[in-house]
Amino acid sequence: MTALNKRTYTLEELAAHVQGEWVGDNEHVLSGVGTLSAASVQQISFLTNPKYKPQLKDTQAGAVIVHDKMRDDVSGNALVVENPHAAFARIAQLFDTTPPVASGIADTAVVAASANVGSGVSLGEHVIIEDNVVLGDNVSIGANTVVRKGTHIGESSTIHPNVTIYHEVKIGKRVCIHSQTVIGAAGFGYANDKGTWLPIPQTGSVQIGDDSQIGASSSIDRGAMEDTIIGKNVIIDNQVQVGHNCIIGDHSCICGTTGIAGSCHIGKYVILGGGCGVNGHISICDNVQVTGYTMIVQDITEPGVYSSGQPAMKNREWRKNAVRLKQIDSLYDRVKALEKAN
């Protein structure tokens, strides 16, 4: 890909950026992205889902990103690529107007004398950097974030405002952590002595690999004795709980409000849909996709798609099914009796 650093681009420049082929007016200027139904002539859109194909005939988009098999369906300018969704993501990054989380080092930031701060680091208002913290070059940390002692944050990582990172955590390069997230809090470890819960000190830590993204209001607990490990290029949505000593393999995706109990081992390229629950000490092999609101109570050893959530249906149908479910035991007994009679 070419390196671009401006706010408007010709179709030909964008094609070069994503190694695609332009069709139509190569000099057409684009300054943003939009949906097929709402984009203007200055915006570029994309099509991957055939459901939205009918919108092509009425779109006002200045160009549309499509796969080669759909190039003839676009009457105007097109950008033809192998993976339209990925190309759209790379182009959208060029037009991103999200402000930086910090610029320079604020006067109210508190940095311990023993901290090692790289070049180009930005710290927002009231950031606290404790003893022996290491911040790589070009790290940006938003206002009111606390980084506790001994933590390492790799170069070009972005920590949004109001994040808490506990002690001795290791965060890789180009990691993004969104607001209200807590990394390295004590794992849920207790022993019961005659009805009284005794906390077990959690002496492990958390490791987060390069290029991972952690959503807002998520929690990743530190390990009890060994580390909780998040691999490279793992994406974790908002309000996700990762228990102590979990291992999540490279390139996996954990969607919102999923809860993963302690000591789970999740492989590479795993996708857990929103609202999933994973029992403790579960192993999931590589290349597994789990649909939303599924409860995983045993190991998954074969790649594939797994489900257990109840899809929505009309209330009247659901009520009938609920009644029939209650009748299963008696129906089973009747069938067994008939089998014996025959």
Active-site positions read 244
Q: How far apart are CA 161 and CA 180, in angstroms?
A: 8
Are residues 188 and 206 in contact, defined by beta-carbon separation less than 8 angstroms?
no
Are residues 141 and 120 in contact, defined by beta-carbon separation less than 8 angstroms?
no
User: Coil, strand or helix: which one is 281?
Assistant: coil
Alpha helices, H only, 203-276: none
| Separation of CA 268 from chain center | 14
Q: What is the DSSP string of 7-54?
A: S-EEHHHHHHHTT-EEES-TT-EE-EE--TTT--TTEEEE---GGGGG
Maximal CA-CA distance, the chain: 87
Q: Are strands 228-230 and 190-193 parallel, antiparallel or unpaired?
A: unpaired
